[in-house]
Structure 1
């Protein structure tokens, strides 16, 4: 299995380039349709998008094994929240890739009787649940880093004499002022945390973009092909960046 995992990892960069091209076609087709382009041109773009999608499915053959291996590694994480989110996310990705492999076999004629609509819906459900777990993991890490940053800021303020013992701060003039001050503090902490953790920022943005794709395909929150294409293209570019610059990939 390890040999196959190493082999499939080599095709990930190409698959992400094909993914970016596929969603670029989706966005381009939507834009041209809105602009009143010729029907023949729109048909050509849709065919190219379909060919890119089928090529991606071929490149993802065997990715279930890689996801299972990643789940086995995640089981040994010490943090229980990260262990749960990452392990279950990889298991769902393994099921998503398995459904995707069946769809590839159906589209190529190897399984002519395969109900492609049913298996497509199943694959997107697994994909959506994996993305929800990934976002949960991102929010958990952001919250933990914000708490650490808050403690560090309070300690520095205490050491510098900014907070004097025995004196209570002046009360804000209204509840609105209190909420505004707290919101500004949270935004400053969030900005500081994300600025100092580019891998976490990229992973969060990528998952936020990706989550709209299965939501639209499953009919849970329909946004249209233009928005889906833009989100898919953005997340693909972010994924390519993590391949070009491995230090940008969120670990574990």
Structure 2
């Protein structure tokens, strides 16, 4: 109960709940449509999805400043690659939130003549850039951990028999791929925060790709990806040790 109280007191946590509910509505609406459900129910779920999305935009007002502060802190990271990736991710998030705030003013009627489609595309472009940088950072961390794992195995002189000489180049390539796959699985299994971050970013990636028309899927799939990443985000808020640092 104490963890839930702390969770509900955070604006980011409330935004994640709104996000999960929004994408759950998208999944439910698409499932109803595919199964021949009533048009009224589908329209109701679509309207609820839109209202939840508007509520999320309200909760994100001011998030640009938080992202800029996070970027200022990440400049001091000692690792050059991490410093570049984390700082660039925060800067793209700041621009994404700024465009999203402008879009909110148009949707609420404060600026009725705002070109909402243009600002929506701008926000999703910054969102896509941030996710690409996040996945690049994940790949970098995975590579570092895999190199350490492989070095440790070589130092102990135990590769579980995988260092046997192969008869030809193809077999050698197959053995190397098996070794790398085993190391990758071991690294991700031993680092839950990194695994969750990879899955979350990979799921989120389909959202801007679909919205920008770069990789069209369907509302149900996009909703499922958004719902999955939202649940993972909620887990990292409830259990801070699951959040990838820095």
> Which category of TM-score, normalised to the shorter sequence, fits these structures?
over 0.9
Q: Counterparts in 2 of 1:94-173, with a 5 A limit?
A: 94-157=94-157, 171-173=165-167
TM-score (norm 2): 0.93
TM-score (norm 1): 0.91
Which ranges of 4 or more aligned residues in structure 1 deviate by more than 2 Å?
173-176
Residue 200 of structure 2 corresponds to which residue in structure 1?
206
2:242 to 232, 236, 248: 248
1:229 to 223, 234, 239: 223
Partner of 1:36: helix, strand, or coil?
coil
Ranges in structure 1 where 5+ consecutive residues have no aligned partner:
1-8, 164-168
Residue 216 of structure 1 corresponds to which residue in structure 2?
210
Residue 194 of structure 1 corresponds to which residue in structure 2?
188
CA distance in 1, matches of 2:24, 2:177: 37
1:183 to 170, 177, 186: 177
Write the deviation string for residues 85-113 of structure 1: whole angstroms up to 9, x where unpaired: 11011000000000110111101011111
Please identify the structure whose Cα radius of gyration is greater. 1
Cα deviation for residue 171 of structure 1 reads: 3.5
RMSD between superposed Cα atoms in Å: 1.6
CA distance in 2, matches of 1:149, 1:213: 34
1:75 equivalent in alignment to 2:69: no
Ranges in structure 2 where 5+ consecutive residues have no aligned partner:
1-8
CA distance in 1, matches of 2:147, 2:32: 47
Residue 20 of structure 1 corresponds to which residue in structure 2?
20
CA distance in 2, matches of 1:222, 1:186: 32
Cα deviation for residue 170 of structure 1 reads: 5.7
